[in-house]
Structure 1
Amino acid sequence: MYVFLAVYLTIYGGAHLYLLRRTLKAFELGAPFPAFFLMLGLFMVGAPMLVRILERIQLEAPARVIAEIGYSWMGCFFLFLSASLALDLFGLILKAVGQMLQRDLSFSEPGLVAASLCIALAASIYGLFEARHVKVEQVVLESTKLPAGVGRLRIVQVSDVHLGLMVGRPRLEQILAQVAALKPDLLVSTGDLVDGQMDGLKGLDTVLATVRAPLGNFAVLGNHEVFAGVGPSVAFTTRGGYRMLRGEAVAVNSYLTVAGVDDPAVRYRQKEKGSAVSEKEMLEKVPQDHFTLLLKHRPAIDPGAQGKFDLQLSGHVHKGQIFPFNLITHLAYPAKMGLSRFGTSWLYVSRGTGTWGPPIRVLAPPEVTVIDVVQRVMGNEQ
């Protein structure tokens, strides 16, 4: 915890110091602007920590207000920083070209800062719009494991909804309306259904329970459920009509098995105990003629489990949520977004359905995923 706090303050605080000082210098702003910028930076850097403190002492209303302000600023600030770095690089290239051509092609410092700020503001406004318009992504997979008479198995996936202070009842009702319209046979949540605290969830379990799939609703733990507390998170999800799979495989019918594993964060928290069963051991007990669906929050394939399931559904990475952070998440989790194949197994990585932290998404629209598993036509190879 202390290491994370130190890293957060160093990176986020340092970035504020750099950009705010650069802005003051670029526009030659004197008193009272330095003092104002300092107080603004201190408040915004401390806002996420203040939100957690207010949540813990059950002051939900002020926590929500500060969260809206602090996290919206965070998104805009990261875009400002990214735009500044990109324009600085572009400026260096232009300067080098100008030297070769013996012409001055450089930008002025005020121009660079102003352009960066305009890009950040425009992208933030667009990001607010993008985050609230959930796309339906459709995938079709062929399988020989569907019995005669079952023409299609429709699986609908939500992931990383992050219900809480920032994502509340209106967003949940919007998501569920889209899910219900898709008429899933099976509905799954691949982790982070709730955010890092249990605040803002009153009544949302009842709303969640209004959409039930004929073959069942299933869920697994994400890292944020662990942060909020495994016990309360499991209880909330169960009241919402989902069966939580924690290192177990459930035969839904004569041809379908759904398996799920805990997020690794469970093992990292000493007070919580995760399943001791490995993915390989769990899946080896599943009948080979069943279509096996594996729910796993993080998009990583266990080498020992590869080939022992038909489709793994994951989330976690949000596609970075705000461009260009997808480049960073790709370094941590190289699996591509969407559908990819690993031998005889498939992996689908969702961009997530809600938002974490900043209530914006830039070039990473939220999604509800519908996977139609259909009977493989004889001679048709995937």
Structure 2
Amino acid sequence: MSRVSRRAVLKGVAGLFGASIATAAYGMWIEPAWRLDVTEYRIAPPRWPHGLTMRVALIADLHAGAPFMPIGRVAEIVARTNALKPDLILLLGDYRADHLFLTRRIEPAETFAQLARLAAPLGVYGILGNHDYWHGVEPFRAAFAETGIPLLENGVVALATPQGPVHLIGTASMIAVPIGWRRFRGYDDLPGTLARVPDGAPVILAAHEPDLFVKVPQRVSVTVSGHTHGGQVRLFGYSPQVPSGYRNRFAYGHVVEEGRHLVVSGGLGISMLPVRLGVPPEIVLLTLG
């Protein structure tokens, strides 16, 4: 092999090595810990009041805990969300980090002291995620109660608008209780919760896991979810690993099936592995109407 060709090979190997290191650094630190996007969707949902426009901010999967989601970053997310001036703010579950890479554990009371600063004319409401149930649900329920943010566990609230009430419903987790290898029992009760909504009324459904969407009837105007983190690695519209029984079908973004609308947030924190690549932390701003 000539000296030139050896040099070219060595430069190529060095380039690949350098690119790999840069990609790893970006995916394991810059994107998960420093980026914060606002992703906007505009939807004209079915069974929606004529002339009503509603801006809904979604905060999903905070997984608060240093180094990737220190309390200062939670405060930044709160400030950024308030600056969007949404009409309604929904918290979609999974508030505390429980991965193996924690340098400081942040308890729900500390996180919710920041979330209590969220403000919107139609209110701030929340649901619980699977991790909140898995690791002891009472501190999360207490944090909601102490900060005055209503918690919807198979709950319903009528939001007053000039065009009449819009009903917000929030379901409990579908995988609240592990009962075996990849087997879970849920606390969700969509039929019972929907039964408390007047027939024909517009409905927004907050469900932590997007897999519930297959059971959502036509009467629901829009479903909003988190849980998947967009797979945490998402390239060219594909996520190799998605915590969903439906894989990429409900991995991320705006999904329309048979006239029904689902929006899946990529979330803000991390779970399991300390990496985000191609799906940066995001606040979702959803404009309905």
Shared topology, TM-score over 0.5? Answer: yes
Is 1:267–2:177 an aligned residue pair?
Answer: yes
- What is the RMSD computed on CA atoms of the aligned residues? 3.2
Is 1:308–2:219 an aligned residue pair?
Answer: yes
Measured against aligned partners, the alpha-carbon deviations of 1:118-164 in whole angstroms (never above 9, x if no partner) come to 3332013223222222111111122575556x642111101011112
Is 1:175–2:85 an aligned residue pair?
Answer: no
Higher strand share: 2
* 1:195/1:228 contact within 8 Å kept: no
Give, in whole Å, the separation in 2 of the partners of 1:241 and 1:345.
Answer: 32
Task: Give the structure 2 partner of residue 255 of structure 1.
Answer: 165
* 2:213/2:223 contact within 8 Å kept: no
* 2:60/2:268 contact within 8 Å kept: yes
Give, in whole Å, the separation in 1 of the partners of 2:117 and 2:170.
Answer: 23
* 2:45/2:288 contact within 8 Å kept: yes
Q: 1:168 to 1:152 in 2, by over 3 A?
A: same
Give the match's secondary structure for 2:39.
strand
Equivalent residues in 2 for 1:333-352, closer than 5 Å: 334-352=249-267
Alpha-carbon shift at residue 192 of structure 1 (Å): 0.9
Give the match's secondary structure for 2:176.
helix
Give the match's secondary structure for 1:239.
helix
Alpha-carbon shift at residue 357 of structure 1 (Å): 4.7
> Which amino acid in structure 1 is aligned with residue 106 of structure 2?
G
Give, in whole Å, the separation in 2 of the partners of 1:302 and 1:314.
Answer: 9
Which deviates more, 365-374 or 297-306?
A: 297-306
Which of 206, 218, 226 lines up with 2:113 in the alignment? Answer: 206
Alpha-carbon shift at residue 229 of structure 1 (Å): 0.9
Q: 1:242 to 1:194 in 2, by over 3 A?
A: farther
Equivalent residues in 2 for 1:17-96, closer than 5 Å: none
Q: 1:363 to 1:240 in 2, by over 3 A?
A: farther
Is 1:242–2:144 an aligned residue pair?
Answer: no
Give, in whole Å, the separation in 2 of the partners of 1:362 and 1:302.
Answer: 26
Measured against aligned partners, the alpha-carbon deviations of 1:51-90 in whole angstroms (never above 9, x if no partner) come to xxxxxxxxxxxxxxxxxxxxxxxxxxxxxxxxxxxxxxxx
Task: Give the structure 2 partner of residue 290 of structure 1.
Answer: 201
Q: 1:219 to 1:323 in 2, by over 3 A?
A: same
Give, in whole Å, the separation in 1 of the partners of 2:216 and 2:116.
Answer: 32
Which of 16, 26, 35 lines up with 1:133 in the alignment? Answer: 35
Q: 1:299 to 1:116 in 2, by over 3 A?
A: farther
Q: 1:199 to 1:237 in 2, by over 3 A?
A: farther
Higher helix share: 1
Give, in whole Å, the separation in 1 of the partners of 2:253 and 2:53.
Answer: 20
Task: Give the structure 2 partner of residue 153 of structure 1.
Answer: 54
Give, in whole Å, the separation in 2 of the partners of 1:184 and 1:340.
Answer: 22
* 1:220/1:261 contact within 8 Å kept: yes
Q: 1:281 to 1:144 in 2, by over 3 A?
A: same
Give the match's secondary structure for 2:79.
helix
Measured against aligned partners, the alpha-carbon deviations of 1:268-319 in whole angstroms (never above 9, x if no partner) come to 369xx964x6312321331234321111111114544321311111111112
Is 1:218–2:119 an aligned residue pair?
Answer: no
Task: Give the structure 1 partner of residue 240 of structure 2.
Answer: 327
> Which amino acid in structure 1 is aligned with residue 24 of structure 2?
S
Task: Give the structure 2 partner of residue 363 of structure 1.
Answer: 278
Q: 1:268 to 1:336 in 2, by over 3 A?
A: closer
* 2:231/2:251 contact within 8 Å kept: no
Structure 2 regions of 5+ residues with no counterpart? 1-8
Give the match's secondary structure for 2:140.
helix
Give the match's secondary structure for 1:268.
strand
* 1:161/1:353 contact within 8 Å kept: yes
* 2:49/2:202 contact within 8 Å kept: no
Q: 1:118 to 1:144 in 2, by over 3 A?
A: closer
Alpha-carbon shift at residue 224 of structure 1 (Å): 1.4
Alpha-carbon shift at residue 359 of structure 1 (Å): 4.6
* 1:223/1:266 contact within 8 Å kept: yes
Q: 1:162 to 1:177 in 2, by over 3 A?
A: same
* 1:134/1:367 contact within 8 Å kept: yes
